[in-house]
């Protein structure tokens, strides 16, 4: 009986955690629709601003462009697709283009995930109109770096990354450890990377936990009832 009560209590705890996590994910998504703010003077303040929108001005350092992936495309309507439904360029999995960005009003360089391109447009020579030389203004989403996911191999080398390895990306480009996702811009998407590739990446797998704990609770209660109350041997 004690085991059944404990198991049931753990199930209730998982329900509460599921509700809390779903609310947190909702709050984070709401931040993506808030008005953008200026980049703080102290870049370390960005550690507390993940999923906040910021507005910056400067120029891209295209000669240090990197790619991250492969990744599937997130369309402007939020649907993630494997290809063929958005445009002729969407021919399957592609890559995210990450480019160092020299800020106009300070010496800092940050990293911008400009967005998604198909495999056949990975090389910058295949999309010359996407390489602006002049200053541009960008609205972007603050992101944090990622730890190496379990079972993920090492990066492929060169300028190809499998995940947001912020220390390595910053070291190879001379940029500050700041990573921003450019939002979707219709004009930019016509000739270059398709922005708006931000994923709210909090893993929400509590449903499987709930099923497991309540199944254990039910099974334990049945065994207790059979053996203690009915006194039926196994």
Above 70 in pLDDT, residue 58? yes
| More confident: 208 or 63 | 63
- How does pLDDT run across 178-200, given as a tens digit for each residue? 999 999 999 999 999 999 999 88
Q: Which residues pair with 139 in a beta bridge?
A: 55
- How does pLDDT run across 36-57, given as a tens digit for each residue? 999 999 999 999 999 999 999 9
Instruction: Assess contact for 32 and 51: CB atoms under 8 A.
Output: yes
Residues 162 and 90 in one domain: yes
Q: Which of 116, 115, 135, 139 shows the shortest CA–CA distance to 60?
A: 135
Residues 156 and 111 in one domain: yes
Q: Could you list the residue range(s) of the whole structural domain that residue 25 is in? A: 1-32+200-234
Residues 121 and 222 in one domain: no
Above 50 in pLDDT, residue 18? yes
Domains: count for the chain? 2
pLDDT at res. 156: 77
Q: What is the pTM of this model?
A: 0.75
pLDDT at res. 151: 84
Residues 24 and 37 in one domain: no
Residues 226 and 161 in one domain: no
pLDDT at res. 204: 47
Residues 230 and 139 in one domain: no
Residues 141 and 211 in one domain: no
Instruction: Assess contact for 216 and 31: CB atoms under 8 A.
Output: no
Residues 160 and 209 in one domain: no
Residues 159 and 88 in one domain: yes
- How does pLDDT run across 199-234, given as a tens digit for each residue? 886 654 444 444 554 555 555 655 656 666 666 665
Q: How many angstroms separate the CA atoms of 181 and 87, rounded?
A: 21
Show the 3-state SS of 30-79.
HHCCCCCEECCCCHHHHHHCCCCEEEEEEEECHHHCEEEEEECEECCCCC
| More confident: 166 or 151 | 166
Q: Which residue has the tokens 């059944």?
A: 4
Residues 50 and 111 in one domain: yes
Residues 76 and 158 in one domain: yes
Instruction: Assess contact for 54 and 36: CB atoms under 8 A.
Output: yes
Residues 6 and 67 in one domain: no
Give Cα separations from 83 to 47, 72, 91, 191, 218 (angstroms).
34, 8, 5, 18, 44
Q: Which residues pair with 209 in a beta bridge?
A: none
């Amino acid at each position: 009986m004690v085991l059944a009560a404990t198991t049931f209590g753990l199930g209730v705890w998982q329900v509460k955690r599921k509700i809390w996590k779903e609310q947190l994910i909702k709050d984070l998504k709401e931040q993506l629709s808030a008005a953008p703010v200026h980049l703080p003077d102290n870049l370390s303040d960005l550690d507390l601003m993940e999923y906040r929108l910021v507005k910056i001005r400067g120029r891209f350092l295209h000669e240090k462009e990197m790619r991250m992936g492969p990744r599937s495309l997130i369309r402007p309507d939020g649907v993630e697709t494997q290809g063929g439904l958005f445009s002729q360029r969407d021919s399957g999995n592609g890559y995210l283009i990450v480019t160092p960005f020299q800020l106009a009003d300070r010496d800092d360089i940050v990293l911008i995930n400009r967005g998604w391109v198909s495999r056949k447009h990975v090389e910058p020579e295949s999309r010359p109109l996407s390489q602006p030389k002049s200053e541009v203004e960008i609205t972007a989403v603050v992101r944090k770096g990622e730890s190496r996911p379990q079972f993920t191999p090492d990066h492929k080398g060169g300028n190809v990354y499998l995940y947001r390895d912020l220390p390595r990306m910053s070291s190879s480009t001379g940029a500050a450890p700041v990573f921003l996702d450019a939002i979707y811009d219709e004009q930019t998407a016509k000739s270059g990377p398709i922005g708006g590739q931000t994923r709210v990446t909090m893993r929400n797998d509590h449903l499987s936990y709930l099923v497991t704990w309540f199944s254990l609770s039910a099974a334990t209660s049945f065994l207790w009832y059979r053996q203690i109350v009915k006194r039926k041997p196994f």
